[in-house]
Amino acid sequence: SEEIEWWEYDDAAEMADAVAGDVQFIIESAIDARGAAVIALPGGKTPVPIYEKLTQAKLDWKRVTIVPTDERVVPLGDALSNVTMIGKAFIPKGARVVPIVPQATKDYKAAGKSADALMQDLHWPLDLCLLGVGGDGHTASIFFGADYDEALNGPKERRALGVMPDPLPPEAPVARVTLSRQGIVTARALMIAVTGDAKRKVIETAIKQGAGSNYPIGRVLADAELPVDIHWAP
Ligand code: 6PG
């Protein structure tokens, strides 16, 4: 993206306040404009305080549909399931959280196809895509590995696909379903929320490297059509 704006906070709680406020505003604007909001939210640990804040917001949650930016190919309810984590926070408020990998399956490509079909039914582009970033520079579940090129450069109608990271990430060593790069960069608003010096370095390097970055987040950012807000706390 031509425009990347950094927002820095004293701590994760302060970041959570600010990001939750921005997300609330984006949801309200989408509901005003289109009667509904469709947003993508990441799993992982960093967004937990953001979701705690956001669920306190007075919003017409019934008009909000949430898809995960990516999901681990595990049954719903599994401790590794992002939809389960996001659902715990938002379903009680009345939001719809789309379980993109509802079944136990070993066939991650088929899981990716059915996730894509589910997303094709939602209004598009996404009103918001909030991304996390891993210490290895992955974002959503765009990791290096066999399906890396497809996730980055697959057909532009493709919203989601199944991928097998290589190496498997130690925090969740399973196949994934992820938004494609196209699904991410076409969102009407693109935000990143990360903590810690290590991830900050990764993102700074990724931005410097641009389209040729050896970090997946660098390739995605180089392609973003809109300004990207990066929120960072120590
Ligand atoms: C996932 C995520 C992933 C996440 C990063 C950062 O399912 O793993 O959606 O892309 O955002 O791995 O995770 P942490 O916030 O836990 O460091």
What's the pLDDT score for residue 232? Answer: 98
What's the pLDDT score for residue 36? Answer: 98
User: Is the C-beta atom of 182 inside 6 A of ligand 1?
Assistant: no
Pocket perturbation via mutation, ligand 1, pick of 72, 83, 130, 171 by most ligand atoms within 8 A of CB: 171
What's the pLDDT score for residue 103? Answer: 82
User: Is the C-beta atom of 137 inside 6 A of ligand 1?
Assistant: no
The answer to whether 177 and 111 are in contact (CB under 8 A) is yes
Q: Residue 125: is the preceding peptide bond cis (ω within 30°)?
A: yes
What's the pLDDT score for residue 2? Answer: 67
What's the pLDDT score for residue 225? Answer: 83
What's the pLDDT score for residue 104? Answer: 78
Residues whose CB falls within 8 Å of the CB of residue 155, separated by 6 or more in sequence, listed in order: none
What's the pLDDT score for residue 180? Answer: 97
Render pLDDT for 91-138 as a digit per residue (tens, 0 to 9). Answer: 999 999 999 998 878 899 999 999 999 999 999 999 999 999 999 999
**Helix/strand/coil percent split, the chain, to 5:** 40, 20, 40
Residues whose CB falls within 8 Å of the CB of residue 224, separated by 6 or more in sequence, listed in order: 1, 184, 185, 190
What's the pLDDT score for residue 199? Answer: 98
**Assigned CATH for 4-233:** 3.40.50.1360
The answer to whether 183 and 173 are in contact (CB under 8 A) is no
What's the pLDDT score for residue 142? Answer: 98
- Beta strand 176-179 with 128-131 is unpaired
What's the pLDDT score for residue 1? Answer: 64
The answer to whether 16 and 105 are in contact (CB under 8 A) is no
Q: How many residues does the chain have?
A: 234
What's the pLDDT score for residue 100? Answer: 95
Find the helix or strand (DSSP H, E) in which 82 lies.
Answer: helix 82-90
- Angle at CA of residue 217, ends 214 and 218, nearest 5°: 55
At 1, list the tokens: 């993206």
Residues of the chain scoring pLDDT < 50: none
What's the pLDDT score for residue 84? Answer: 97
Rounded distance between C-alpha atoms, residue 204 and residue 123, angstroms: 33
At 176, list the tokens: 């994934």
Instruction: Calculate the alpha carbon distances from 117 to 54, 71, 90, 98, 112 in Å.
Output: 28, 15, 23, 12, 9
At 144, list the tokens: 């290096």
Gyration radius of the chain over CA positions? 16
At 206, list the tokens: 């990724």
Pocket perturbation via mutation, ligand 1, pick of 86, 136, 138, 230 by most ligand atoms within 8 A of CB: 138
Render pLDDT for 27-37 as a digit per residue (tens, 0 to 9). Answer: 999 999 999 99
What's the pLDDT score for residue 153? Answer: 94
What's the pLDDT score for residue 102? Answer: 82
